[in-house]
Structure 1
Amino acid sequence: MDRFNEMLVFQTVAERGGFAAAARQLGTSGPSVTRAVAALESRLGARLFHRTTRRVQLTDAGERFLQECRRLLADLAEAEAVAAGTHATPRGLVGVTSSQLFGRAHVGPLLCALLRRQPLISVRTLFVDRVVNLYEEHMDIAVRLGPLTESSLRAVPVGRVRRVVCASPAYLDAHGVPASPDDLADHACIQFTGQSPGPEWNFRQGRSVRVQSRLITDSADLAVASAIAGDGCARLLSYQVEPALRSGRLVVLLAGFEPAPLPVHVLHHEGMRVSAKVRAVFDHLVDGLRADQALA
């Protein structure tokens, strides 16, 4: 078995989390996968996996080697595309992930517009309110809100979102307008756990207040709807309430006390040399999100 095939098998085992799963994806047998990894470990003189009866886990050496495998295999795929004359033509499936509401409202429409312009590209989306591991879940591109932690990914900033407190005009007419964060202690509040996991709401210069939440939810849609209905003051991200603010159904409170905005980035994991399909989707998202007034 050639070295590049051994590296492909190793990468698949690492990303699928097991030998049997890798064999299914590669369309081969479990013993052949085991032999390929064993041959690779023997040649390198290093153990790449910790094996148990239930799963395999990368060793430190395996983690380092996986990064090199991804780079080398991506370079090989690019070289083959250039030789075949297909590198300049974007084609194939690209996986894109984002949070749910942001994905539906901002990423999804951009992707649909791209598909109308690029008939050879297909897109698979994964819009979930959690940080997705691009390698493990076979995603090519991510749109992330907030501080970044993955140093191995290339990130391009495209905008920012504010952390805003808002309420409906009807609620404010009935209960008054809070003049400072401390006043929130006397108001009914709506806690969206995706933005405020606990009852402490943080503001500028390390200031915080403990709120009384009548509704605690992991759904941004529900938190927005509850605030519009006049149930209390909600703490959400600006893009989540932008339509309601524009229509006057919600009003921003305590703008002068808001913490620093959160950055928005578009990321991919193919390094500086990317395939035509990933580059096309990546560049389209960067341009589109930078032009999005909700992220200004």
Structure 2
Amino acid sequence: MDKLQAMAVFVKIAEQGSLTAAANAMGKSLPSVVRMLASLEESLQVRLFNRTTRRIALTEEGLFYLERCRKILAEIEESEVALCQDQVEPHGTITLTAPVRFGEMHVAPSVTRFLSQYQGVQVNLLLLDRVVNLVDEGIDLAVRIAHLGDSSLIAKPVGEIRQVVCATPTLLAASGGAPRRPEQLSDLPCVHCTSISSSPLWHFSDSGKRLDVKISGAFMCNQVGASVDACVAGLGFGLFFNYQVMPWVKRGELETVLRKFEPAPLPLSLVYPHTRLMARRVRTLVDWLERDLKHSFAR
């Protein structure tokens, strides 16, 4: 017996006042309606209707069961309507995580634009500089800047993040121009951001070989924002990810140097647990961020 169908038949009988009327209203045969009601009563071990040849009336148990059946069937209908609406217009909550600085500069503004267009969606944005377990922590989507190991996660590449050395035009002029080789940085003032490089060794690539250069300077900080500010103030050369200094480079306040010695860029990816049965709201945000971030880093 299909319990939900039997419940729907029971409710229809109560509403129509007879088995025949219920059968006609549901487009079913009278014998099938009689069988479903009998099976339902047998499974419940109670009598739902008192029946005579002339009328049918709910028992006390039937009145109790009718109220519950109506609530259950209404909730199922509401859930199905919500799912159908989600297929047309995304709605619901998405939990998204991204690195703190990148999230502040690029992900949060993109999400703000997304929410302006899709007003039925809510986004819980977690800005974290640790790698989270998407499945264990109930996260729908992550923005990651790293080489990703083998896993069951899906990674959609959207760009590359370079590691750049930069300085103000004034500092470059005072230093006799841009350095031609990384080793020259050992004799120049540098801003040491420990969240980028934990040790005072900056890593470069020289014809495919790793080259380490020891740097020193008056300013050391564990926060990117303060380190970029110090670099913009002319306290020294800085080593950052390109997105972290992009606004100042565009304005001409900083210039990048030693481009041909940069290490291999890191992939920028959208990472999510699976594509099968992905909610439309998540898929829509993935497509949105892919377009936005590709546009930002297509240079």
Equivalent of residue 270 in structure 1, options 270, 274, 277? 274
Residue 150 of structure 1: how far off its partner (Å): 5.8
Q: TM-score, normalised by structure 1?
A: 0.68
Could you say if the C-alpha distance between residues 84 and 186 of structure 1 is closer, same or farther in structure 2, counting changes exceeding 3 Å? closer
Q: Distance between the aligned counterparts of 2:83 and 2:163, measured in 1?
A: 49
2:172 counterpart of 1:172 = yes
Which SS does the other structure have where 1:267 is aligned? strand
2:243 counterpart of 1:242 = no
Q: Distance between the aligned counterparts of 2:150 and 2:271, measured in 1?
A: 10
Q: How does 1:1-296 map to 2 (within 5 A)?
A: 84-88=83-87, 89-149=89-149, 151-176=151-176, 177-204=178-205, 205-292=209-296, 294-296=297-299
Q: Distance between the aligned counterparts of 2:81 and 2:287, measured in 1?
A: 20
Q: Distance between the aligned counterparts of 1:140 and 1:219, measured in 2?
A: 28
Deviations 1:211-248 (A, max 9, x none): 11432222111111000101001000111101110111
> Match for 2:182: what amino acid?
P
Could you say if the C-alpha distance between residues 215 and 194 of structure 1 is closer, same or farther in structure 2, counting changes exceeding 3 Å? same
Which SS does the other structure have where 1:206 is aligned? strand
Residue 147 of structure 1: how far off its partner (Å): 0.8
> Match for 1:120: what amino acid?
G
> Match for 2:244: what amino acid?
Q
Q: Distance between the aligned counterparts of 2:85 and 2:273, measured in 1?
A: 21
8 Å Cα contact 1:239/1:295 also seen in 2 = no
1:42 matched residue in structure 2: none
Q: TM-score, normalised by structure 2?
A: 0.68
> Match for 2:257: what amino acid?
L
Which SS does the other structure have where 1:208 is aligned? strand
Residue 83 of structure 1: how far off its partner (Å): 9.5
Deviations 1:156-202 (A, max 9, x none): 00011111000111222223332211101101111222221211111
1:51 matched residue in structure 2: none
Residue 255 of structure 1: how far off its partner (Å): 0.9
The two structures, once aligned, show a CA RMSD in angstroms of 1.9
Residue 145 of structure 1: how far off its partner (Å): 0.8
Unmatched 5+ stretches in structure 2 = 1-78
Structure 1 or 2, whichever has the larger Rg, is 2
> Match for 1:230: what amino acid?
G
Deviations 1:241-281 (A, max 9, x none): 01110111111111111111111001111343311111111
Residue 98 of structure 1: how far off its partner (Å): 0.8
Residue 81 of structure 1: how far off its partner (Å): 5.8
Could you say if the C-alpha distance between residues 83 and 254 of structure 1 is closer, same or farther in structure 2, counting changes exceeding 3 Å? closer
Structure 1 consecutive aligned stretches of length 4 or more whose deviation exceeds 6 Å? none
Which SS does the other structure have where 2:245 is aligned? helix
Could you say if the C-alpha distance between residues 150 and 105 of structure 1 is closer, same or farther in structure 2, counting changes exceeding 3 Å? farther
Q: Distance between the aligned counterparts of 1:163 and 1:234, measured in 2?
A: 10
Q: Distance between the aligned counterparts of 1:184 and 1:132, measured in 2?
A: 36
Q: Give the % identical residues.
A: 35
Deviations 1:74-132 (A, max 9, x none): xxxxxx76995345142111011111221111111111111111111000111122222
Larger deviation, residues 80-89 vs 220-229: 80-89
8 Å Cα contact 1:161/1:295 also seen in 2 = no
> Match for 1:288: what amino acid?
D
8 Å Cα contact 1:162/1:237 also seen in 2 = yes
Q: Distance between the aligned counterparts of 2:131 and 2:194, measured in 1?
A: 15
